[in-house]
Structure 1
Amino acid sequence: MNSNEISLVVDSLFRQYAATRSDGAPGVEQQLRAMSSRERQHVHHYLLEQTAMLDGYDRLSQTQQRTLDAYRALGQEVRGAERDHIRDLAAGGTARTEGGTPFTPDVTGSEPTAAAAARHVDGHGVPQGGEPLRLEPLGSMNGVQLREAAMRTLDAAVRAHTLPEYAADRVEHLLRNEPPQGRTLTARWAVATGAEAYTRAFAKLCADPLRGHLLWTPEEGDAYRRVAEVQSEMRGMTLTDNAGGYMVPLTLDPAILLTSDGSINPLRRISRVVQTVTDQWSGVTSAGVSAEWTAEGAEVADASPVLGNPSIPVHKGDAFVKYSFEIGMDAVNFLGELQMLLNDAADQLQATAFTTGTGSGQPTGIVTALAGTSSEINTTGTEAIVASDAYAIQNALGPRFQPRAQWCANLSVINTFAQFETGNGAHMFPEIRENPPRLLNRSMNELSNMDGSINAAATANNYVLLYGDFSNFVIVDRIGTQLEFIPHLVGTNRRPTGERGALLWFRSGSDSVNDAAFRLLDVPTTA
């Protein structure tokens, strides 16, 4: 849930509480019970923040005091609903706790959590003194149960610090906004690949691709079979997926983990990033609806908007990592290293494609999408960047896109603008030297895959500066990344080297869905 959604939920709870507080707030209780544990956690944190803010005031008005009392009462309701949820989990058996653990309200004397109940299961999936734990088949769950199980899985992974909060939010977005079939498949994927038992099974395959499955516990075998069922469903929704390979655990999947955080390519951070379960993402665009002033009794004009239906296909990319037998033997720790290596390789491959990709067998880059369109503007100089280019580019963008517009350029181009001076020696763009840098009151981002040098002796187009609202550049990741193991690698003499290989393949795409939201500076040169 984003901050706006949380605020709306709390407002709704507040109104219900104010209307029914004399009756124990039954409407509030019902609404809280209908939420997932993750959603209650968001609400709980929001209430704590608001309570702390009001507590910090020296004096409160009567309205503020009533609001503070209501926030405190709602916090108790949230904690009570979560305790009821924990009891329900415990009553449902340990198999239900495997998909995730609810959050633990920070209150004294709260009941034991489902995590505590899960500790009665040893590391091999066998309840202490009982039979091997068997996972509940996904086919036996309805849509609501699947969604709840998926949200519990996300809760547990975030609290265990195996899944970042932003990655969980991406999966939650799919659970809310995909068509019904996509929501169900996303939930099944999250529950199956997010199971700790599947992560353990996957780790054993990493250590020994040939015999690792012989070391699986019954619980791990069940987890693998659940993932295999989901994998088969995903293949049924595409015409191009390859068979074979193992589905990557939820906590290792680049489709929800990649951020380019700290990378020299900021596009994942500033653009619109979506996930899909199919071969392509489809959206709707519009130039907007026109309004008018009319005289009394005059017929209004037809203001029907012209709607576009952009679709962005996802393309297959791959990354290969080899590792020694010795490294693979440390299977659990190796998974973290494998995640880092494969995600970095995928990140670097995509960074180039999202900027200059051709769109043929790879994503369409933002520069490729804009080059040769009306969004391209030539420099006002002669085969060189001049200071007035920045003003020309910004002034050419429509007012509709200005509030959220940002700049992108290669570091050498950023430095060029930093060196421009006025006639009396003052810097023309002093804010570009700040951290973070800005240009003409808009954020500047380093995008190293853009052109950074201009060769006046060559005939070429040099796309050196990009400005626009990057919510109109969409990056699409298909969930369900696959990994294939190569048990033995051989050297030049065709003899084993004592190494294994891991081949990751993933599906991503990108494109501009509204070229009018951008302006691209071209500095053409002629030999």
Structure 2
Amino acid sequence: MRHLMKTGLRGSTALSPADLTLKEGGEDDPNDIVTKAIGDLTETVNKRFDDQDADRKKLSDRLDKIEAKSNRAKGEGEDDPDEAAAVEKKAFGTYLRRGDAVPDEDRKALTVANDEQGGYLAPAEMSTEFIRDLVEYSPIRSVASVRGISSPSVKYPKRTSGTNAQWEGEAEEAQESTVTFGQLEVPARKLMTYVDISNELLADSGGTAEAEVRLALAEDVGKKEGAAFVNGTGAGQPEGLMTHTGIAEWVNGSTTAVSPDAMVKMMYNLPAAYRNSGTWMMNGTTLGVIRTLKDGDGRFLWQPSFQAGQPETILGRPVIEAVDMPDVGAGAFPILYGDFSAYRIVDRLAMSILVNPYLLATKGLTRIHATRRVGGRVLQAERFRKLKMSTS
């Protein structure tokens, strides 16, 4: 049979007789074999031409669309965002390299002026920094005795009187003494409030609005409890240092000017054990007055801190600035001196925040509750002295 070998058909459009080789050994008609091979080749070539025509048609249609789009007048908002961004980046790069010598076509890409308003269409930047006023509160906690409790109140046993020993002679009988005891109770008072805030504001602020509310609540609670530790009435709130009736007064001798001699005498009127651990307390205005005072030898009563971390002193003892103390004035008590470990602060519950998104959900609001339970009381009034602006 003779077999027909097809060679050189790739990329060919016609079959040459020289490309056909007949081999002996077959009984098939050579003419039929050649005819079939030519038909197959023709079919393959025609298919390739058809595919190329289809590709050319697609390319032509795409070019027609691009040309039509470029020839059409563009309306507002029809610019390609990617293309516009590329043009702006190129123009900005040219500006960085060449400065004011920017070509007109690039300058147009950078210009965003609105001639009607005479301004620029540049959105304002929203900063994450909040502007807030300063909140001052009295730092009584830094010098007072602070305890944590797990009950609504705490009671401290107190010895109200001592024994009465007497000198006796030989064989004389001793006299009886009595000791009395009492209790001092320090209850934990409750300080609370709530804030309603829009759900939209909570969502749009990315958490900063809620953080600011929590900070505002913490500052408010700190300020209110500091004020109560100084001037609290003890009825529904902590008892303040300046409202305790057992603290002895020392007369200044003048209603308008603080007397250095009165301060020295008031300080040394305390027992040595209390005096040597005492601290001065006054507000900033009074402290400014004290800094100008001198003793009889011309030395300032106030001394600056000569070492980092050490407080400034008055007559050798530290001083704290309490914003809730009164100013110098007739009948006022602008200065307190004593051992502040005798003032007890009890913490029952640190400031607790409860977020309730369900109560006002129909109004689109979230309620944030804040609760603080804290108490304060003077345990030993004899450890303090306060200066009264009076002549008697």
Query: What's the TM-score, normalizing by structure 1?
Result: 0.42
1:423 and 1:400 map into 2 onto residues whose CA distance is 26
What residue in structure 2 maps to residue 511 of structure 1? 377
Given that residues 486 and 501 in structure 1 are in contact (C-alpha distance below 8 angstroms), is that contact kept between their aligned partners in structure 2? yes
2:171 and 2:287 map into 1 onto residues whose CA distance is 56
What residue in structure 2 maps to residue 474 of structure 1? 344
Question: Which residue of 202, 224, 227 maps to 1:352?
Answer: 227
1:300 and 1:337 map into 2 onto residues whose CA distance is 70
What residue in structure 2 maps to residue 437 of structure 1? 312
- Once the two structures are overlaid, the 10-residue window that deviates more, 384-393 or 317-326, is 317-326
Q: 1:358-402 deviations in whole A, cap 9, x for unaligned?
A: 1122111110114xx451222133443111121121112123322
What residue in structure 2 maps to residue 311 of structure 1? 185
Higher share in strand: 2
List runs of 5+ in structure 1 lacking aligned partners. 1-261
What residue in structure 2 maps to residue 390 of structure 1? 263
CA RMSD of aligned residues (A): 3.7
**Aligned CA distance change for structure 1 residues 332 and 297 (closer, same or farther; 3 Å):** farther
- For residue 515 of structure 1, report the CA deviation from its aligned partner: 0.8
What residue in structure 1 maps to residue 130 of structure 2? none
Return the structure number with greater relative CO, CA threshold 8 A, min gap 6: 2
Give the partner amino acid of 2:265: A
> How many residues get paired?
252
Q: Does 1:380 align with 2:250?
A: no
Give the partner amino acid of 1:476: V
2:258 and 2:266 map into 1 onto residues whose CA distance is 12
1:452 and 1:316 map into 2 onto residues whose CA distance is 29
2:382 and 2:335 map into 1 onto residues whose CA distance is 16
- For residue 411 of structure 1, report the CA deviation from its aligned partner: 1.2
2:181 and 2:193 map into 1 onto residues whose CA distance is 38
- Secondary structure of the residue aligned to 2:226 is helix
What residue in structure 2 maps to residue 500 of structure 1? 366
1:479 and 1:423 map into 2 onto residues whose CA distance is 50
Query: What's the TM-score, normalizing by structure 2?
Result: 0.54
**Aligned CA distance change for structure 1 residues 310 and 422 (closer, same or farther; 3 Å):** closer
What residue in structure 2 maps to residue 428 of structure 1? 300
- For residue 309 of structure 1, report the CA deviation from its aligned partner: 1.0
Give the partner amino acid of 1:515: A
Give the partner amino acid of 1:477: D
Residue identity over aligned pairs, in percent, reads 22
2:137 and 2:304 map into 1 onto residues whose CA distance is 17
Question: Which residue of 419, 424, 427 maps to 2:292?
Answer: 419
Larger radius of gyration: 2
- Secondary structure of the residue aligned to 2:303 is helix
Given that residues 407 and 467 in structure 1 are in contact (C-alpha distance below 8 angstroms), is that contact kept between their aligned partners in structure 2? yes
2:263 and 2:180 map into 1 onto residues whose CA distance is 31
**Aligned CA distance change for structure 1 residues 339 and 324 (closer, same or farther; 3 Å):** same
Q: 1:257-308 deviations in whole A, cap 9, x for unaligned?
A: xxxxx96412111111122232222112347867979688776666765433
What residue in structure 2 maps to residue 448 of structure 1? 323
Higher share in helix: 1
2:303 and 2:180 map into 1 onto residues whose CA distance is 40
2:256 and 2:316 map into 1 onto residues whose CA distance is 26
- For residue 519 of structure 1, report the CA deviation from its aligned partner: 0.6
What residue in structure 1 maps to residue 123 of structure 2? none
1:336 and 1:448 map into 2 onto residues whose CA distance is 26
Give the partner amino acid of 1:523: M
**Aligned CA distance change for structure 1 residues 449 and 487 (closer, same or farther; 3 Å):** same
2:193 and 2:218 map into 1 onto residues whose CA distance is 9
Given that residues 475 and 508 in structure 1 are in contact (C-alpha distance below 8 angstroms), is that contact kept between their aligned partners in structure 2? yes
**Aligned CA distance change for structure 1 residues 343 and 376 (closer, same or farther; 3 Å):** same
1:442 and 1:288 map into 2 onto residues whose CA distance is 31
Equivalent residues in 2 for 1:173-188 (5 A)? Answer: none
Q: 1:414-439 deviations in whole A, cap 9, x for unaligned?
A: 11111013577x44214157662111
Equivalent residues in 2 for 1:147-226 (5 A)? Answer: none
1:353 and 1:388 map into 2 onto residues whose CA distance is 31
**Aligned CA distance change for structure 1 residues 381 and 289 (closer, same or farther; 3 Å):** same
- Once the two structures are overlaid, the 10-residue window that deviates more, 347-356 or 301-310, is 301-310
